Amino acid sequence: MRTRFIPLIASAAIITTSACALAFNAPSTSLTATPSGAYEIDASHTSVLFGISHLGFSNYHGRFNTVSGDLNFDPKDPQKSTVNITIDIASIDTNHAELEGKLKGADWFDAAKFPTATFTSTKVEKLSDTSGKVTGNLTLHGVTKPLTLDVTFNGAGDNPFSKKHTLGFSAKGSIKRSDFGISQYIPAVGDDVALNIEAEMQKK
């Protein structure tokens, strides 16, 4: 039995050694050190979450699992940067299959008729080297309304796994779902929807 474990122990040691040897440098928050140009969303490390009051008992959370988009980034003049995001409505995830089916239906998001939500920036404001506001047009459920996101620049650097230069952002905002024609069960189910976005963008 002991001899059977020797290869396993050796493999574990190799994996551990390789992981320790992985070069990692903490992301830099220096905008001037960040390459300009086109970036695209790293979908495997991007989250779009929403929160909404449920009967006043809790703030219910869900997420959309399929997100794509691109960023044209100008570190010397961030106000010239632009961002476009597309969300697949059918990828909604609430950890409850029956609820997800209802939310995709005609009474709510109507994913068959309106399969995507999009956000296209119209204005970028730099507040500091690591914070700003991004205003744009959110199109959801066939309705387009302005949305402003409070954005934090988490840092930039080379991803040690993908070997691609990566930018990291956190963003927060809120909408009223009734503005987009999604008004089922208001006010029992809240009208105000909190948005929390974590995004990694990789250099194209």
83-122: pLDDT as tens digits: 999 999 999 999 999 999 999 999 999 999 999 999 999 9
**DSSP count for the chain of H helices, then E strands:** 2, 11
Q: Tell me the CATH number at 137.
A: 2.40.128.110
- Residues near 79 by Cβ (< 8 Å), separated by ≥ 6? 123, 124, 125, 126
Tokens representing residue 101 in the block: 């089916």
- Residue 110, classified by CB atoms within 10 Å of its CB into exposed (0-12), middle (13-18) or buried (19+), is middle
More confident residue, 11 or 147: 147
Q: What is the pLDDT of residue 18?
A: 47
Residue whose entry in the numeric block shows the structure tokens 């730099």: 126
Identify the pLDDT of residue 17.
Answer: 43
When divided into structural domains, the chain yields a total of 1
State pLDDT tens for residues 48-84: 999 999 999 999 999 999 999 999 999 889 999 999 9
Predicted pLDDT of residue 55? 97
Q: Give the pLDDT of residue 103.
A: 97
Residue 56 backbone dihedrals phi, psi, to 5 degrees: 80, 0
DSSP state of 85: E
Closest CA to 111 of 164, 64, 159: 64
* Integer Cα distance of 164 and 45 in angstroms: 14
Q: What is the pLDDT of residue 22?
A: 58
Check whether 2 has a pLDDT greater than 70.
no
- pLDDT for 27 equals 87
Coil vs helix vs strand at 151: strand
The confidence score (pLDDT) of residue 177 equals: 98
Mean pLDDT score, 32-50: 94
Range of the structural domain that residue 157 is part of? 2-203
pLDDT digits (tens, 9 = 90+) for 171-196: 999 999 999 999 999 999 999 999 99
Q: Tell me how many degrees the CA angle 139-130-177 measures, rounded to the nearest 5.
A: 25
Please report which confidence band the pLDDT of residue 23 belongs to, taking 50, 70 and 90 as the band edges: low
Q: Is the dihedral of CA 5, 7, 10, 16 positive or negative?
A: negative
Share of residues in the chain with pLDDT > 90 (%) = 81
